[in-house]
Amino acid sequence: MQKKYAKELMQFIDKSPSVYHVVENAARTLEAAGFTRLQLSDPFNLKPAGKYFVTANGSALIAWQMSKGQKSLGFKLIGTHSDSPCLRIKPNPELTVQNHYLKLNTEIYGGAILSTWFDRPLSAAGRVIVRTDNPLAPKELLISLKDAPLIIPNLAIHMNREVNEGYKIERQKDMLPLLAIINEKFEQKGFLTNLLAEQLSIDPDSILDFDLYLYDTQPGSFCGLSEEFFSTGKIDNLGMAYASLDALIAQDKPLDYVKAACIFDNEEVGSGTMQGAGSPFFADTLKRITIAQCSPEEPWFEIFQQQLSRSFLISADQAHALHPNYPEKNDITNFPVVNGGPVVKIAAAMSYASDGISAGIFKDLCKRAGVPCQNFVNRSDIKGGSTIGPITAKNLRIKIVDIGNPILSMHSIRELGGTADQEFITKVFHQYYKE
């Protein structure tokens, strides 16, 4: 079994503990492959076959290669997201207990399976905002706290006899990680700020704010008798984001289309931010690409609409695999299995953007790539989730298919993917960008 793609993905996830690290590591990979970083505040001077990328908020990224001719027929797009459910550290987070323990105040980001966060070595990562001479342009410094200083200890079963009978986790009480034991020299107020300043070698007074999120420090690993599974955090959705970048970088022969990999933030909380798929960031970037292809006297908006009519977006997230302990939770005739190939996600309520045409296009791509393909439809009596596909459809008139790899333990601190599936989806993306 080909383990290369799953191994590379786990390595990328291990070194990307926050969305800001995801985008920075992606940017470094793109620059090493010859892509030019553009700033949204600068003009887009784009050349045929040129390779470029832009970022938004340090947590979203759009990378693309221009068409071989002056004007493209349209766009070949893959849309993914950088964020995953987790715990976010609140401002003024320090809490003391009996003048002995120090813990941190947190809130839940996205739909996390909270029970999976207990009794694990944790750390915090994100960005620290530092004062500069320009009050409208502070500096952003990435950070990951050293080692694994945090843990959320379970209450012993002797004190919580109902823990195995459906205990309800209280978010404001149970999900507060332990950080330290207080000693005589301890200063409660500003403890975390001082810790950040120490690790970054900066003055604590220069720190204006921070965006910090907890993460599991244990590295990803293969499992299963033949290592047919891999276990790590954030497969949803770095599994798709990494595969899209891999394909875009490798398939560098320019086409008649603009090829783009788009990694958005905040999908897990609705995408309604300036760096989310529901923001103008996506559409505006595509418009600027079209404008760069046109002369001043040409009707760029008309050309843009024509390009959209010939374009296609693969909204690539993850899908729910048939669970070995809960097979009744899947649809009775559409139940994707791990290592059975990528999944086309379909919903009559259009919570997925797939229809017969877009699904058929993707299935043909899989066939051309020599990859199996499956379907996912929710049980008719169970409401499912949604993706960036329908959100994008509100802003762009474009054909969209919602797809994903079948995984288990979705939204757990550690998810379970199929080793073969990571290879399958990467091959499909390569095929998409190749012809």
Q: Please give the share of the chain, as a percent, with pLDDT higher than 70.
A: 99
How many CA within 13 A on the CB side of residue 142?
14
Mean pLDDT of 98-105: 94
Enumerate residues 6+ apart whose C-beta is below 8 A from 101. 178, 180, 181, 182
Mean pLDDT of 379-390: 90
Is the whole-model pTM more than 0.85? Answer: yes
Q: Is the pLDDT of residue 43 over 70?
A: yes
Enumerate residues 6+ apart whose C-beta is below 8 A from 208. 129, 130, 131, 138
The per-residue pLDDT for 247 is: 98
Contact 131, 424 (CB under 8 A): no
pLDDT digits (tens, 9 = 90+) for 153-180: 999 999 999 999 989 999 999 999 999 9
* Dihedral sign of CA atoms 328, 329, 333, 338 in order: negative
Mean pLDDT of 295-315: 97
Q: Is the preceding peptide bond at 237 cis, omega within 30 degrees of 0?
A: yes
The per-residue pLDDT for 435 is: 84
Mean pLDDT of 62-78: 97
Residue 315: CB atoms within 10 Å: 29
pLDDT digits (tens, 9 = 90+) for 372-384: 999 999 999 988 8
Q: Is the pLDDT of residue 1 over 70?
A: no
Give the mean pLDDT of the chain. Answer: 96
- 213 vs 11: CA distance, rounded Å: 19
The per-residue pLDDT for 83 is: 97
Q: Is the pLDDT of residue 189 over 80?
A: no
Residue 311: CB atoms within 10 Å: 22
Q: Please give the sequence-ordered ranges of beta strands (E in DSSP) within 155-234, or none if there are none.
A: 178-181, 207-216, 221-223, 229-232
- 85 vs 240: CA distance, rounded Å: 16
The per-residue pLDDT for 186 is: 61
Q: Please give the sequence-ordered ranges of beta strands (E in DSSP) within 205-351, or none if there are none.
A: 207-216, 221-223, 229-232, 258-264, 312-320, 343-346
First to last CA, the chain: 27
Q: Is the pLDDT of residue 278 over 90?
A: yes
Contact 33, 51 (CB under 8 A): yes
The per-residue pLDDT for 384 is: 83
Enumerate residues 6+ apart whose C-beta is below 8 A from 413. 112, 113, 116, 117, 120, 216, 233
Among 338, 360, 82, residue whose Cα is nearest residue 330: 338
Contact 320, 410 (CB under 8 A): yes
Q: Please give the share of the chain, as a percent, with pLDDT higher than 90.
A: 95
pLDDT digits (tens, 9 = 90+) for 199-229: 999 999 999 999 999 999 999 999 999 999 9
Task: Give Cα separations from 272 to 268, 277, 312, 391, 396 (angstroms).
Answer: 10, 7, 22, 9, 15
